[in-house]
Structure 1
């Protein structure tokens, strides 16, 4: 499969109008443009299934550039890719590949942001293509987990009422579950760990996120804890608004302070 390398401004972004009221989406898009992030696109026609399989199966690869089927990209995918890119920049050592915990934290942030977008779009852009695909898939996972239709509607209402809180609750859950399951070598122990999260309000959505891919993709990596990833996780849990913490430090970091001369004036 021969690949082209394209920047975001060389792609057509679908459904972007639905996100026009989400300021953070625009900031995430600008982060990819600012950093010249590149996507990989097959030169010749390639089946959608094969491209998605390769991208999902090898999402922990260190080489930059998500593999996408063509020169169209959904707006929610722009945000998802941006979070991975920003996490890689913040959590990877100089030239070193990201740790397993850094990869799991990045995916937890990107996936939880999808739920945040659901909450933001439900009341403002109910006809969004993103909702037309995302909500039925979530409903199917919730139903399979035993949640009633009424229970799922109540869950969506709570997400719409406070999308920022929904983001952090789901992010923490996804990180806790995957970091607990990753070292498991026993089926019974894994089942016990999963059961321990059954009371969480977002437990019915867990299998929507295909956590087996996360765990299997990071299994070959060293198992030692990552202090950097753990520090970010702790900061997000204690922050009044986790997304605001990420926005301030990852999405729109402060400009470097210019050097000053001996008299205190900025040097030129």
Structure 2
């Protein structure tokens, strides 16, 4: 019976396993091999160059900028989307009815195309947009929203936060619903204020849902591409040059597929190490609250 169950389990898991082998493990091995070559994406042959690509990448201004820009986006996007999604979850959870309708409304941006959202933002912030014309005509202010490193970084982070807020709010709302109401009733009897209830009861008991959303949001910052590609192209002056943007430019604009593969490997290493450290920090917070 156990053997039959094992076979059945492998059978049901096989589509995902096959998908992973074909579209993840295979390309990963091929990319690792290419990182030691000088393939230009066109030539049928290429030479083995050893660790030259990695040495070049470590000395590259574009790679260094991708490393730091990722953490800049992290410091902007993660707190912003966490506060926004938590606020939405708390408000929706307190509604007497139609909770699902409001959650679906907030979730819709997550289903929208990043290209469309970026094009709308680009038109909204263009030189001749109503916003800029109003600022110039009434206050004499002329802002190059996507030409300034700080504002370009903020705009991309804000678009991403708008997109993911509804998705994370769904997870957090589910976490809020799972908290035993008797805990709040006991706290009310003891005279706990609303602020104390939120910080001392709600947040600690919301740890599983918060852990999930935080890990997901940290992961997003290592994969930013569409919004940056559409709005800034990694500029100005590498201010929004992410890992994916640097890999794309080297592989498809400069036709250095081998070099781009080495950058991709470095990006994977940085991502795994960063997420591992973040997980340990979050698990330490959970342990202090009795979850781990």
Relative contact order higher in (CA < 8 Å, ≥ 6 apart): 2
TM-score, length-normalised on structure 2?
Answer: 0.26
- Structure with higher Rg: it is 2
Quick check: which one's helix share is greater?
2
